[in-house]
Chain A
Amino acid sequence: DAGVIQSPRHEVTEMGQEVTLRCKPISGHDYLFWYRQTMMRGLELLIYFNNNVPIDDSGMPEDRFSAKMPNASFSTLKIQPSEPRDSAVYFCASSRASLNYGYTFGSGTRLTVV
């Protein structure tokens, strides 16, 4: 089991550019979550999917953010256009329907927008 795989690990981009973060959940997990970690707000839930369907995107900060899950093994989080305040670590996590052991997180993508 390779765990939740996120790419890239680091991304530095200029303000106004499009950024795409990628996630491969653990096989067999039917929930996928995107979180953002900042010093001020800790881990914030942006959006989550169940069986590839977006369930709650109320945490997505603005229309500049969008997420897709075209199949059970892949999800993307896109920011267009990016802004310096989007700089943060973005985590993807997946879980089975039973949450007795919580989520399994990926190693995160550190995004820096300059």
Chain B
Amino acid sequence: DQQVKQNSPSLSVQEGRISILNCDYTNSMFDYFLWYKKYPAEGPTFLISISSIKDKNEDGRFTVFLNKSAKHLSLHIVPSQPGDSAVYFCAASASNQFYFGTGTSLTVIP
């Protein structure tokens, strides 16, 4: 059973606009969350993280929001750029083990 879910398999956004990628989880014991970015033929690479004691973490154009009561995580990319086109995985951690979602393929249209 998927403990981390990304219900949107794909998303298309115009260059310069905001991209919002969503993630839901079921396990209230998760205490650390990350987003990974994956280009074709490459392994996932770490993008941004957030601890469960925070509700927002920002790094340049990327911001992750955590809503613990809703068990919901989101990644905002502003402004979106064509180079952001990739598959984005969210992951949640408990006891040194990460559980990944199925990924959302983002396409940023020039």
Contact = CB atoms under 8 A, between A and B. Distances in A.
B70 interface: no
Contacts of A103: 46, 98
Contacts of B93: 99
Contact of B97 (A44, A48, A97): A48
A75 to B, nearest CB: 15
B101 A42 contact: yes
Nearest to A31: B96
A40 B93 CA distance: 21
Nearest to B44: A105
Q: How big is the B interface, by class?
A: 20 to 34
A102 B91 contact: yes
Counting from the closest, the 6 A-B pairs by CB-CB distance are: A42-B102, A105-B43, A43-B100, A102-B34, A102-B46, A107-B43
B65 interface: no
Contacts of B32: 99
B102 A91 contact: no
A45 B97 contact: yes
Interface string A1-17: 00010000000000000
A101 B43 contact: no
B42 interface: yes
B42 A91 contact: no
25 contacts: A4-B43, A35-B100, A40-B102, A41-B102, A42-B2, A42-B6, A42-B103, A43-B44, A43-B89, A43-B100, A43-B103, A44-B100, A48-B97, A56-B97, A91-B43, A99-B93, A99-B96, A99-B98, A101-B46, A101-B49, A102-B36, A102-B49, A105-B43, A107-B41, A108-B41
